[in-house]
Amino acid sequence: MSTGAELHGILVTFRRPGDLETMLRNLANQSRSVDRLLVVDNDNDPNVHRIVTTNSDAAKLVEYLPSAENIGPAGALALGCREIMRTADDQTWVMFFDDDDPPRTRDGLSEIVSFAELMVRRDPATGGAGVVGAEFNVRSGLTRRLANHELVGPIPVAYIGGNQLPCYRMLALRNVGVPNSDLFFGFDDLEYGLRMRSAGWNLYVNGEIVARERHAYGRYGAEARPDKKIISVGWRDYYNTRNLVWILKSHHHRVAALRYVAKRVVGKAVYNSSRNPGLAWRYLTVGFRAAFDGYTGRLGKTVEPTASKTGM
């Protein structure tokens, strides 16, 4: 049973017009429509403006919000949240969208919003819900994938994946604040979830939906294992390491931050040194720079994203 609360969406896009069109068409075909959709364009591209205007049936109200520069997913979400907070009431649900991750089923939005509203009735401290989430050990700096036997009913999680239709309650959003734009890229979803939980808000995923998604992608029987092989080194590696080190330190786990660097940066480089010494050395160099910036709090867009996976 719906409470009648509105659903507002923030869709972040950057130089993927084809994906954006697909996403907007998907939203237009959802069984539960978005009441207001804010498309935040990190490239300020007139062609994107045209695509948004052409696909105005993606929501009851579709708006285009260009950014003066590329402020990353974290910055775009923060920008969109501030805009929505100006007029939305406290019962509004705000869902985050990536331009290349459309809902997999026609009832994708309906399922999440209905589940979120159910959890508010059961737990008034519910701050949000989504498709897939995980636990996080701040002492080790590692996420914990939910075990298959846990996938029953509502499951509390530390954070909801940024590309997994996270749906936040406006009341909680006002209390906690917007996503941290200084992170620019990587682990902004983790930081936001931990901040929500620290403020007393709970986040949930539906175990049955998680199990269904794993079956759909052939991951139900797979166990999460550390990825030790270095394929390439690029700006994403830098931001992921920097942000995670900063998150650990900001939660007063400096030793865990150093342990993470030793294991995931130094250890991974050593493991790959005999296979590809040049790539291992580059990974180590980028990792040390990222770790230093994260530990000293040098955030923001410190490395320019490039089209190449190996560019820095």
Cα–Cα distance, 231 to 255 (Å, whole number): 28
Residues 245, 106 share a domain? no
157 and 290 inside one domain? no
Give me 3's structure tokens: 């409470």
Does a structural domain hold residue 162? Answer: yes
Higher pLDDT, residue 164 or 179: 179
* pLDDT recorded at residue 4: 75
Our count of domains for the chain comes to 2
**Whole-number Å distance between alpha carbons of 176 and 178:** 7
Q: Residue 20 is part of which domain span?
A: 7-216
- The amino acid at residue 87 is T
Q: Give the tens place of pLDDT for each residue, 236-260.
A: 999 999 999 999 999 888 888 998 8
Same domain, yes or no, for 131 and 191? Answer: yes
* Domain shared by 63 and 178, yes or no: yes
Rounded distance, CA 15 to CA 13, Å?
Answer: 7
Question: Which of 10-14, 230-234, 307-311 reaches the highest mean pLDDT?
Answer: 10-14
Q: Are residues 77 and 190 in the same domain?
A: yes
Residue 141 belongs to a domain: yes
Per the CB < 8 A criterion, the answer to whether 18 and 103 are in contact is: no
Based on the fold, state whether residues 196 and 253 are members of the same structural domain: no
Domain co-membership, 159 together with 275: no
User: What pLDDT score was predicted for residue 207?
Assistant: 92
In the predicted structure, residue 41 carries a pLDDT above the cut 90: yes
Cα dihedral across residues 210, 211, 216, 222: positive or negative: positive
pLDDT value for 120: 97
Which amino acid is residue 176, in one-letter code? V
Bridge partners of 17? none
Give pLDDT, residue 310. Answer: 46
pLDDT at 1 over 60: no
Is the C-alpha dihedral spanning 123, 125, 131, 132 positive or negative? negative
How far is residue 28's CA from residue 106's CA, in Å, rounded to a whole number? 10
pTM: 0.92
Distance CA 49, CA 273 (A): 47
Average the pLDDT over 28-35 and give the result: 96
Instruction: DSSP letter for 299, please.
Output: -
Asked if pLDDT for residue 309 goes beyond 60, the answer is no
Total H helices, total E strands in the chain: 11, 11
**Do 242 and 211 reside in the same domain of the chain?**
no
pLDDT digits (tens, 9 = 90+) for 278-297: 999 999 999 999 999 999 99
Average pLDDT, integer, range 182-201: 96
* 157, part of any domain: yes
Q: What is the mean pLDDT of residues 151-178?
A: 95
The pLDDT score that the predictor gives to residue 39 is: 98
Model pLDDT for residues 56-109, shown as the tens digit of each residue = 999 999 999 999 999 999 999 999 999 999 999 999 999 999 999 999 899 999
Residue 72, pLDDT score: 96
Q: Which helix (H) or strand (E) holds 41?
A: strand 36-41
Give the separation between CA 7 and CA 304, rounded to whole angstroms: 34
Give SS3 for 72. helix
Neighbours of 278 (CB within 10 A): 9
Which tokens in the block code for residue 182? 């200084």
Is residue 249 in some structural domain? yes
Residue 299: pLDDT above 60?
A: yes
**What proportion of the chain, given as a percentage, has pLDDT over 90?**
79
DSSP result, 210-274: HHHHHHHTT-SS-------------HHHHHHHHHHHHHHHHTT-HHHHHHHIIIIIIHHHHHHTT
pLDDT of the residue at 307: 59
The pLDDT value recorded for residue 223 is 62
